[in-house]
Structure 1
Amino acid sequence: MSAAGDPLDALPAAVLADILGRVADSGDIAASRLASRALLSASYLCPRVRICAADRARRRREGGGGTLPFRTSSGNVATLLGSRLRSLELDAADGQGSPDDAMWVEEGEFDEADDLHLTSREAVTAWAGTDAGPVLREVEIADYWPQACWRKAEALPLISHFCLNLVRLGLRNAWLSVDGLKEMLNLTHLTLEFIRLDDENLDRLNECFPCLHTLNLIGVGGPKIHLPQLKTCRWEVSNVPQSLAIHAPNMVFLDLKCVRPGMLILDAPSLSTLKLTIEKLGAAVGVDGLVSLRNLSIESLDLNSLLPIFIENQAIKTLELELPHSAKQYVLIEEVNHPDYLLRMLAGISEVKLTPRFSCELIRCLALCRDTQFQSCLKKLLIHMPPLVSACELLPLFKICTPSCEVTVLFHTDSTDGIHEVAMSAWKTKFPEIRWQWGTWD
């Protein structure tokens, strides 16, 4: 190859197309066409494209291109790449116009325009109705909340009609209809984030996505998930349903955040890891099917209800305890029947991690402990030590550690080296059989 030749000519077009797909942004891909004939040819083979409204606006401000309406550009790209396109990401949010704690913008803040409303019939048909629709494997759409929240959109039914081979689908910031939604038997990964879904009982979701392996429902309400092939699930429930039920015989991981379900049913015999964030547990709980549960993380004040149900009757190996951000000082003393009971629960676990907030409140409780003479299987313990706490205050906790236990103490960065040295010396003298590790936390 001559010195004046294009060095990219030596690379196969398929390799260059894959590289361009990793660049992803359509504006960068368009710019690359001007740099090389090889890139120009490869751009028509690009399998992955990302189109971001914020990037296009930045280019316009900087004097670049991007004069086409945003919704039009997605249809043009899909038409240009056709059956070679495998992954399409459309982002009109860019961290703006998204709901934070509230699900709706205030009256008068609605955006009457529709240039960024990406889940509408017109916007979805523009790209899904091209040759790219039937061959797409991944689609992710982040809508612009002020335009999308007050318009019911047909993105789900249209995608189920056109994108028959879709494997991954993510939709964010929209009000979605399920009228006309068809079964998507190839879809294994679904994410709905900050979505108002016209499927109050989640019946259509359960019926039309039977092959899901991964489900993320963030800010989505509903009382029941029934998916036989589901393996991992993250569900942040937006409403306060009377009952909440998950039936998933093959699920191994669940991250569930809810408020006060009157009834909670977890029918998941394969579940091994559960992360549970809950304000208050209702009177009716069915968790008899959690026969494989080994790893448990709880963030709640309702420990009087949760500990007996999820620890006493389960063979838990690892446990992480956290308190809500709203928890006040001494709240753990009020919520737990007696600190001795809490220590007995910890002693029955192999590995325990106590987060900063929980560590601080537990240390306040330890002075009330009277009985630490019970059998323990605790092999690994991590605790965060707040400033202005003396070494002797943690002695009741260390007494339940087995002789071969590995204890990691993280000192707060506000505490002095002198405090560290005094505490470490006292603990090593009192418990020489424990294997100690030290660190810091902010």
Structure 2
Amino acid sequence: MSASGDPLDVLPAAVLADVLGRVADAGDIAACRLASRTLLAASYICPRVRLCAADRARRRREGGGGSPAFRATTANLASLLGPHLRSLSLDTAGGQGSPDDAMWVEEGEFDEADGLHLTCGEAVAAWATTSAGTVLRELDIADYWPQACWRKAEALPLISHYCQNLVKLCLKNAWLSVDRLKKMPNLTYLTLEFIRLDDEDLNQLNECFPCLHTLNLIGVGGLKDPKIHLLQLKACCWEVSNVPRSLVVHAPDLVFLELKCIRPDTLILDTPSLSTLKLTIDKLGATARVDGLLRLSNLRIESLDFSSLFPAFMDNQAIRTLELELPESSSQYELLEAVNPDYLLRRLASFSEVKLGPRFSRELKLCLAQYKDIQFGSCLKKLLIHVPQSGSCFHLMPLFEICAPLCEVTVLFHAESADAVRRQDAMSICMQNFPEIRWQWGTWQ
């Protein structure tokens, strides 16, 4: 500090508080408080704060001193910042299960303590009942799985009672009850990740969060016949962790959907505004109703069940971009068994833009070798393909033959594959054989 005073005195307190809010980490904010009286004063009106158990444990080891309990510290912070707090992030997961040694809980090995269990009623009430609870706009809690996985928690009902002004809510690593859950009309963004949810059909979620624009359900278990019924939903990412009998999405305004599932008996997509669909699925069930996707323009499929998926999704003339990828465990023999080569190339030629993922590109060799060189028209204007680490461009020639005149083809070589000379030779052969194609070259890893 200079003799003339704190140089930060010239800045408005609101500006300094916003700067501290961008720092966010509670430990760093505490260091700023010690460095300057002006920052100390501004810290009391800080709008955003993040408290991480792993960071606190590290500082405790480095400093050799004690540290107050994590849950008590959270409550103290909420009381201290009070009506100024807009965003609160609490993390006892440390990226995995333990903030100290990153050891994830093994099956049957549970932590009987509860000092890091952030989604229990007592822990939530400690900060939610302060003046900060009513003004919070964003809340992110990553719980400590060894303590949270075997205890049903009341986080959702309490948050819905005390934090009615929340716009964004993210909860991770917990078993959540929905008893006495209240409607939250201001909430537009919800993420539940690695959650056991006592709402097997998602009825409570649909009723109590009716204004969601974004919904992310990542590894949410406890579902039986889940149905997303949200009239204002715009974007959804749903990674189904178990094998429910049916999956239903009724969302008339939905434009983006990423769905990862195994083999539901019933799949119903009542999403007439959907423009982008990213689908990862083992097998399409016997009952699939997806014929209302009139605005679908971007489709990504990761699967081997092409005999079901191609007719169900690709008989839509509005689709402009198609991306195909295979499951990690698949082989070129499975691809050949799953789809006729002539049928595959005819399908690819019917789209304006095609992207073939690394695994699909790798296993395409045997499939293209069976191609019978049947002539047909092509709409293909853009093609992206990955050359595998041990492969070359030569087996891809049948694919280049279906490109329309002046098609733009991007070939990505594996970064650890052939040397520069071999790459240059392959590039020269491609350009000589298909001079009408506009070539682009790159690498992938």
- Higher alpha-carbon deviation: 314-323 or 64-73: 64-73
Say yes or no: does 1:203 pair with 2:203.
Answer: yes
Question: Compared with structure 1, are the counterparts of its residues 220 and 314 closer, same or farther at alpha carbon in structure 2 (3 Å cutoff)?
Answer: farther
CA distance, structure 2, for counterparts of residue 386 and residue 170 of structure 1: 38
CA distance, structure 2, for counterparts of residue 88 and residue 370 of structure 1: 61
Aligned to 1:375: 377
CA distance, structure 2, for counterparts of residue 419 and residue 354 of structure 1: 22
Deviation of 1:440 after TM superposition, in Å, equals 2.0
Aligned-partner residue type, residue 156 of structure 2: L
Q: Do 1:82 and 1:130's aligned partners in 2 also have CA atoms closer than 8 Å? A: yes
Aligned to 2:266: 263
Say yes or no: does 1:414 pair with 2:413.
Answer: no
Aligned to 2:67: 67
Q: Do 1:272 and 1:292's aligned partners in 2 also have CA atoms closer than 8 Å? A: yes
CA distance, structure 2, for counterparts of residue 291 and residue 15 of structure 1: 48
Aligned to 2:101: none
Q: Do 1:157 and 1:182's aligned partners in 2 also have CA atoms closer than 8 Å? A: yes
CA deviations 1:385-405 (Å, max 9, x no partner) are 225545442221111101110
- Higher alpha-carbon deviation: 429-438 or 305-314: 305-314
Aligned-partner residue type, residue 42 of structure 1: A
Question: Compared with structure 1, are the counterparts of its residues 105 and 211 closer, same or farther at alpha carbon in structure 2 (3 Å cutoff)?
Answer: farther
Question: Compared with structure 1, are the counterparts of its residues 242 and 180 closer, same or farther at alpha carbon in structure 2 (3 Å cutoff)?
Answer: same
Aligned to 1:112: 112
Aligned to 2:246: 243
Aligned to 1:439: 442
Instruction: Report SS of the residue matched to 2:72.
Output: helix
Aligned to 1:342: 344
Instruction: Report SS of the residue matched to 2:323.
Output: strand
| Gap regions ≥5 residues in structure 1 | none
Question: Compared with structure 1, are the counterparts of its residues 177 and 298 closer, same or farther at alpha carbon in structure 2 (3 Å cutoff)?
Answer: same
Aligned-partner residue type, residue 39 of structure 1: L
Structural mapping, 1:232-381, within 5 Å: 232-336=235-339, 338-381=340-383
Instruction: Report SS of the residue matched to 1:401.
Output: coil
CA deviations 1:240-263 (Å, max 9, x no partner) are 111111000001000000001001
**TM-score where L is the length of structure 2:** 0.95
CA distance, structure 1, for counterparts of residue 280 and residue 423 of structure 2: 33
Question: Compared with structure 1, are the counterparts of its residues 116 and 436 closer, same or farther at alpha carbon in structure 2 (3 Å cutoff)?
Answer: same
Deviation of 1:297 after TM superposition, in Å, equals 0.6
Aligned to 2:160: 160
CA distance, structure 2, for counterparts of residue 244 and residue 66 of structure 1: 50
Deviation of 1:20 after TM superposition, in Å, equals 0.7
Aligned to 1:384: 386
CA distance, structure 2, for counterparts of residue 295 and residue 18 of structure 1: 39
CA distance, structure 1, for counterparts of residue 28 and residue 184 of structure 2: 33
Question: Compared with structure 1, are the counterparts of its residues 384 and 372 closer, same or farther at alpha carbon in structure 2 (3 Å cutoff)?
Answer: farther
Deviation of 1:417 after TM superposition, in Å, equals 2.8
Q: Do 2:270 and 2:292's aligned partners in 1 also have CA atoms closer than 8 Å? A: yes
Say yes or no: does 1:91 pair with 2:91.
Answer: yes
CA deviations 1:121-178 (Å, max 9, x no partner) are 1100010000011100000000000000000000000000000100000000000000
Deviation of 1:364 after TM superposition, in Å, equals 1.9
CA distance, structure 1, for counterparts of residue 65 and residue 405 of structure 2: 69
CA distance, structure 1, for counterparts of residue 235 and residue 105 of structure 2: 29
CA RMSD of aligned residues (A): 1.6
Deviation of 1:301 after TM superposition, in Å, equals 1.0
Deviation of 1:205 after TM superposition, in Å, equals 0.3
Aligned-partner residue type, residue 145 of structure 2: W
Instruction: Report SS of the residue matched to 2:278.
Output: strand
Deviation of 1:79 after TM superposition, in Å, equals 0.5
| Gap regions ≥5 residues in structure 2 | 99-103
Question: Compared with structure 1, are the counterparts of its residues 33 and 304 closer, same or farther at alpha carbon in structure 2 (3 Å cutoff)?
Answer: same
Aligned to 1:17: 17
**TM-score where L is the length of structure 1:** 0.96
Deviation of 1:295 after TM superposition, in Å, equals 0.3
> Percent identity between the aligned chains?
72
Aligned-partner residue type, residue 313 of structure 1: N
CA distance, structure 1, for counterparts of residue 92 and residue 12 of structure 2: 34
Q: Do 2:294 and 2:316's aligned partners in 1 also have CA atoms closer than 8 Å? A: no
Q: Do 1:312 and 1:345's aligned partners in 2 also have CA atoms closer than 8 Å? A: no
Question: Compared with structure 1, are the counterparts of its residues 389 and 60 closer, same or farther at alpha carbon in structure 2 (3 Å cutoff)?
Answer: closer
Deviation of 1:31 after TM superposition, in Å, equals 2.0
Structural mapping, 1:138-157, within 5 Å: 138-157=138-157
- What is the count of residue pairs matched by the alignment? 436
Instruction: Report SS of the residue matched to 2:247.
Output: strand
Instruction: Report SS of the residue matched to 1:403.
Output: coil
Deviation of 1:105 after TM superposition, in Å, equals 4.3
1:423 to 421, 426, 441: 426
Structural mapping, 1:221-240, within 5 Å: 221=221, 222=223, 223-240=226-243
Deviation of 1:45 after TM superposition, in Å, equals 0.5
Instruction: Report SS of the residue matched to 2:363.
Output: helix
Say yes or no: does 1:174 pair with 2:174.
Answer: yes
Deviation of 1:66 after TM superposition, in Å, equals 5.8
Aligned-partner residue type, residue 359 of structure 2: R
CA distance, structure 1, for counterparts of residue 176 and residue 393 of structure 2: 56
Aligned-partner residue type, residue 122 of structure 2: E
Instruction: Report SS of the residue matched to 1:96.
Output: coil
CA distance, structure 1, for counterparts of residue 65 and residue 78 of structure 2: 19
Question: Compared with structure 1, are the counterparts of its residues 440 and 83 closer, same or farther at alpha carbon in structure 2 (3 Å cutoff)?
Answer: same
Q: Do 1:279 and 1:302's aligned partners in 2 also have CA atoms closer than 8 Å? A: yes
Q: Do 1:243 and 1:261's aligned partners in 2 also have CA atoms closer than 8 Å? A: yes
Aligned to 2:30: 30
Deviation of 1:14 after TM superposition, in Å, equals 0.5
Question: Compared with structure 1, are the counterparts of its residues 104 and 211 closer, same or farther at alpha carbon in structure 2 (3 Å cutoff)?
Answer: farther
CA distance, structure 1, for counterparts of residue 167 and residue 392 of structure 2: 55
Aligned-partner residue type, residue 395 of structure 2: E
